[in-house]
Amino acid sequence: MTDSMADRQATAIGPAGTAERPLGQLGSARAEASGRGRVSLFARLGAEIRFAPVERKFLYVLLLLFLAKGIVYTLVFPAFSGHDEVAHYTYIRFVAEEGRVPIMPDLGEWQARTARDEPTGEDRLPNELYKYCQYFTSDWWRGCSESQWLRNPPRVVSLGTDLYPSGWVYTANHPPFYYLLMTPLYWLSSGQTPEVQLYLFRLIAIPFGLLTVVFAYLTTRTLFPGDQFLATTVPAFVAFQPQIAYEAAMLNNDILAIAFTSWVLYLVARGLRDRFPLRTCVLLGFVLGLAVLTKGTSVTAAPIIAFALFFGLGWRNVRQWLPRGALITAITLVMIWPWYLFLYAEYGDLSGLTRVKELQWWNYTYSDPPTVLGQLFDGGFAWLRWRETWGEFGWRLIPLTPGLLLVLLGLCIFAVVGLAIYAVRVMRIRRAARTAAAESDPEVSVVAGDPVL
């Protein structure tokens, strides 16, 4: 059967007042001005490093450490060992070489074509990447120990009397923004091997992790502007969280979605502080749209925004929160509707998961899939999510030990309880200060810039 993923090679006037000066002097003056500009830039950088507050100096050190760690992770972890890197790479290849997103095959149509011995023509993971079969899901039959499959990767799986496609692009229902963003790098490196391209894509992911750390710092400074302890510990917690650092050194859309969601949380904090001015609402809608176009699960940030509007503006102030919420929603919907219209037209739903369920013969074939409500009260599911939150490296081949995960759980519970107590105390102190100010001078009002939790 011909592989549809065939390889392709992507394939001067001086300023006023200088006309009377000799050319040599003019060139010298320009050189001097350029030199002063460079000195000024370096002087500003030096002054920033020298006179910045301690927490910002700590942030700079933290970012350097995160960058170094990301480079080490990029090179140390084997090629295509990150979560779904084979499938993410294939998605980028489709966008870059064919100018379209990959499509998941229709099972009924595929089976009918197979029964007639006709070419099925589905979009596939490339044959040359089957040697990394231990790092992807069973959607491509993992016969890693059998040399016959390494020479001729399996494209059909039989389950009883039923046949299923093997090696279809199981990330095809992901939104396209991340892959569009990576396409220029694919073009620039088109003459390189997939492995070299992969390492370039991994390096490009590191800045998204750096942005996540920066937004953690900015959010903390917005909520607790005078607290040096939180301004250092919160971004440090994010920077040294193993899974964030890992995702920020792999080829995946998760870290970009994390960065955008971190940006949303920062804007929410600013909105709470400033009572959601128009510019913040516009930016919130735009960034939320980018997040959802990067990964659909980012839509979970929408309830956080809604709650913040209620909490920050007061649920009784309908004339304040309703138009702001409508503006944020409208901007996001304008950005994302073409993608979800495509999903509905192609797969019959807004996620493509119905098609995924049909094709994944290995997933809940002989049992009913769990419900969302059931998973909320499933201890095994919660523990699996906790494991994945902290580290399931090398496609779940290098998990963290249960003992370490329990220690981390205890520390996190302790930290969350402590933060909640601290937040309540801060709120009481601020409320008392405002009450005292109002009693001493009835004309005094709280300014918009007064930070709140």
| Residue 330 tokens, joined | 């409208």
Length of the chain: 453
Q: What is the pLDDT of residue 36?
A: 52
Asked if 94 contacts 178 with a C-beta cutoff of 8 angstroms, the reply is no
Overall number of domains in the chain = 1
> Is 398 in a helix, a strand, or coil?
strand
| Residue 373 tokens, joined | 């409500």
Taking CA 250 as the corner, what is the angle to CA 146 and CA 94, rounded to the nearest 5 degrees?
70
Confirm whether 56 is domain-assigned.
no
Question: Which H or E run contains 157?
Answer: strand 156-159
Detail the DSSP E strand segments found in 300-439: 392, 398-399
Surface-to-core class of residue 24, CB atoms within 10 Å of its CB (0-12 exposed, 13-18 middle, 19+ buried):
exposed
Which residues contact residue 81 at a Cβ distance below 8 angstroms, ignoring those fewer than 6 apart? Answer: 132, 135, 393, 394, 395, 397
Q: What is the pLDDT of residue 38?
A: 54
Give, for all 453 residues of the chain, the pLDDT tens digit.
Answer: 444 433 333 333 333 333 344 434 434 444 454 555 556 777 887 787 788 899 999 999 999 999 999 999 999 999 999 999 999 999 999 999 999 999 999 999 999 999 999 999 999 999 999 999 989 889 999 888 788 888 899 999 999 899 999 999 999 999 999 999 999 999 999 999 999 999 999 999 999 999 999 999 999 999 999 899 999 999 999 999 988 999 999 999 999 999 999 999 999 999 999 999 999 999 999 999 999 999 999 999 999 999 999 989 998 999 999 999 999 999 999 999 999 999 999 999 999 999 999 999 988 776 777 777 787 788 888 998 898 888 777 777 778 899 999 999 999 999 999 989 988 888 888 788 878 887 776 554 444 444 443
Three-class DSSP labels, the chain: CCCCCCCCCCCCCCCCCCCCCCHHHHHHHHHHHHHHHHHHHHHHHHHHHHHCCHHHHHHHHHHHHHHHHHHHHHHHCCCCCCCCHHHHHHHHHHHHHHCCCCCCCCHHHHHHHHHCCCCCCCCECCHHHHHHHHHCCCCCCCCCCCHHHHHCCCCEEEECCEEEECCECCCCCCCCHHHHHHHHHHHHCCCCCHHHHHHHHHHHHHHHHHHHHHHHHHHHHHHCCCCHHHHHHHHHHHHCCHHHHHHCCCCCCHHHHHHHHHHHHHHHHHHHHHCCCHHHHHHHHHHHHHHHHHCHHHHHHHHHHHHHHHHHHCCCCHHHHHHHHHHHHHHHHHHHHHHHHHHHHHHCCCCCHHHHHHHCCCCCCCCCCCCHHHHHCCHHHHHHHHHHHHCEHHHHCEECCHHHHHHHHHHHHHHHHHHHHHHHHHHHHHHHHHHHHHHHCCCCCCCCCCCCC
Confirm whether 409 is domain-assigned.
no
Confirm whether 343 is domain-assigned.
yes
Confirm whether 271 is domain-assigned.
yes
| Residue 397 tokens, joined | 């081949």
Taking CA 208 as the corner, what is the angle to CA 333 and CA 287, rounded to the nearest 5 degrees?
20
Nearest in space to 360 (alpha carbons), one of 109, 137, 103: 137
Q: What is the pLDDT of residue 261?
A: 98
Q: What is the pLDDT of residue 29?
A: 46
> Is 164 in a helix, a strand, or coil?
strand
Confirm whether 307 is domain-assigned.
yes
Q: What is the pLDDT of residue 39?
A: 60
CB-CB neighbours of 197 under 10 Å: 21
Q: Which domain holds residue 313?
A: 195-354+387-396
d(CA 110, CA 334): 34
* C-alpha distances in Å from residue 123, one per residue of 162, 278, 333, 424: 20, 44, 29, 54
d(CA 189, CA 173): 25
Confirm whether 442 is domain-assigned.
no
d(CA 225, CA 430): 13
Confirm whether 434 is domain-assigned.
no
Q: Following DSSP, what letter does each residue of 223-273 receive, concatenated?
A: HSTT-HHHHHHHHHHHHT-HHHHHHTTSS-SHHHHHHHHHHHHHHHHHHHH
In the block, which residue shows the tokens 């070489």? Answer: 97
Confirm whether 139 is domain-assigned.
no
